[in-house]
Structure 1
């Protein structure tokens, strides 16, 4: 498996410094998310900090920019990285799109497929005309005067549900997991859907990237408590009902959703943490990471962030980067 990393920083300066250290430790790709920062601006900052590692978005929101803007940003980032950029896209949730960004959520499957088709057409240099069921583009006659580094930039898709996962298998260069994704879920739910979506493609054409939230501490109990904030953040989302039910955590998920809707703290018992987060001592985390062998092509390690103080996140991040060096 390839080992990659999603750095954290209170500032862009700290983020890029962590990216540089992760590259020095051996991380092959540096991934940046989109939530409290712009994924493409963060990727541009990281591009100036690393010299060998790839730079990817995990993920940029697919519907909050026009496909044309996303394609142009991808071309610029590919130039900044010398052809090492990976465009990771995700649909997000209905609430995020409609309430946070005021963009449509109707027909997300078709919208994501057509968004990728438009992006690839723009990156390839045209023709810049597209008439889909959701997306439209009419920029005929437009010629970008800048020579691209590549006319095909890898597009990875984040997917949790079966239909989105099959779509990733059918059209993407890689699949990106949710930050919580156990080896059992990968083996029994994700890989069969990816295979069903391949539709004649070779499995080797698809990079299966599992995102693994990581919490390392000499005290395993402290590592689990640090990870609890991440579980609480996601457990309050009703959309993930089937995911938690698969792990025999339906009751805990229902309680978390009810608490979130009531504005109360989400209580996360240890039995929610152990199957879904790499938490423990360095040796315990390395052993749990090894369980993805033969299932994932790439692992993206990220520090547990939600609910933790900056100094706590920094200590954890340093331990993760140290672990990458030993791996």
Structure 2
């Protein structure tokens, strides 16, 4: 199981930060789309490193279209020498419609078509195939030589999709090369819901099992060198769990554990801005379902024991201030593939 790290949004500091993460022993560097564009720091990380995987985790797919994503993905695959992964997520309806002013409908079906459209575009560049993709959401039928990308030896990047619900997870298994498991998950949800859905998607595509398909986790961890640091980490993690649990789309995870009644209560509090009260509602028992706790040298073994049979690679998810270098001495020898 490979252990990865998240890269911050500071564009100017991205090269040095990425180089340091590679030096510290992380196998991959991921860039999220939180407030800044994720592709610019990805390029910075690519140019500053030589061996680590670099990718978006995730770029918001529905804020863009298949042509723009195919173009930037192909460019970064070329620049990275094949180390770039195009990670995509749907976001939720309110953000797509009200923040990005983009259309929203049938997100799983739309995501499936978006990936297939990208692959059609890449095929037109790689193989010279006529671009003639006509779907329910996207239509791409024009590709002139002036605008076509020149093929390169590394080809299109692997496409990883993120999701929580069964439908989006099945789509990932069917059309993607890998899947990002949302941080708001549990070992039980992984084994009872996520993996079966991925396998159903693979079966639709005529493939058996998950061989050759990357399952990437984002594991919440609570750690610190002192009791005070650990307490702050626990509080930050509870706050993040409360935030995720207030989202109706993520309720199925809670339902599986008999915690579904938490969601409407937390949603109501979130609309009133009562974040402290939301955090207080997350008990230690709930935290144990979602997070791994221990000293820095105990985190990697604990994750291996908890989900090492599921994940090909995992990113340490720390919704509080912590230096990624604190884990560095404990990463060596743990980045071999499962």
Report the TM-score, using the length of structure 1 for normalisation.
0.90
- Is the CA contact (8 Å cut-off) linking 1:43 and 1:56 kept in structure 2? yes
Q: Does 1:107 align with 2:106?
A: yes
Aligned twin of 1:206: 213
Q: Does 1:304 align with 2:316?
A: no
Encode CA deviations 1:195-216: one digit per residue, 9 max, x unaligned: 1111131321211111113332
Distance 2:40 2:98 in 1: 23
Aligned twin of 1:294: 309
Q: Does 1:132 align with 2:138?
A: no
Aligned twin of 1:248: 258
- Work out which of the residue numbers 195, 198, 215 in structure 2 matches 1:194: 198
Aligned twin of 2:31: 32
CA positional deviation for 1:64:
0.8
Distance 1:299 1:64, change over 3 A: same
Q: Does 1:282 align with 2:282?
A: no
Distance 1:241 1:168 in 2: 20
Deviates further, 211-220 or 142-151: 142-151
CA positional deviation for 1:303:
2.7
CA positional deviation for 1:228:
2.3
CA positional deviation for 1:70:
0.6
CA positional deviation for 1:244:
1.8
CA positional deviation for 1:322:
4.3
Encode CA deviations 1:267-288: one digit per residue, 9 max, x unaligned: 2333332221233322442343
Aligned twin of 2:150: 146
Name stretches of at least 5 consecutive residues in structure 1 with no aligned partner: 306-312
Encode CA deviations 1:124-180: one digit per residue, 9 max, x unaligned: 314222110111112143452534343332111111100111111111100111022
Aligned-residue CA RMSD in angstroms? 2.0
Q: Does 1:77 align with 2:76?
A: yes
Aligned twin of 2:239: 229
- Is the CA contact (8 Å cut-off) linking 2:2 and 2:27 kept in structure 1? yes
- Is the CA contact (8 Å cut-off) linking 2:70 and 2:121 kept in structure 1? yes
Distance 1:60 1:151 in 2: 20
Distance 2:175 2:70 in 1: 16
Aligned twin of 1:5: 5
Distance 1:192 1:113, change over 3 A: same
Distance 1:326 1:17, change over 3 A: farther
Distance 1:279 1:98, change over 3 A: farther
Distance 2:17 2:89 in 1: 24
- Is the CA contact (8 Å cut-off) linking 1:211 and 1:301 kept in structure 2? yes
Encode CA deviations 1:37-65: one digit per residue, 9 max, x unaligned: 11112211211221111111111111111
Distance 1:279 1:14, change over 3 A: farther
Within a 5 Å distance, the mapping from 1:24-63 to structure 2 comes to 24-63=23-62
In the comparison of the two structures, how many residue pairs are matched? 318
Report the TM-score, using the length of structure 2 for normalisation.
0.87
Distance 1:17 1:255, change over 3 A: farther
Distance 1:179 1:322, change over 3 A: farther
- Is the CA contact (8 Å cut-off) linking 2:5 and 2:324 kept in structure 1? no
Partner SS for 1:189: helix
CA positional deviation for 1:107:
1.8
CA positional deviation for 1:181:
2.4
Q: Does 1:217 align with 2:216?
A: no
CA positional deviation for 1:110:
1.8
Distance 1:316 1:25 in 2: 11
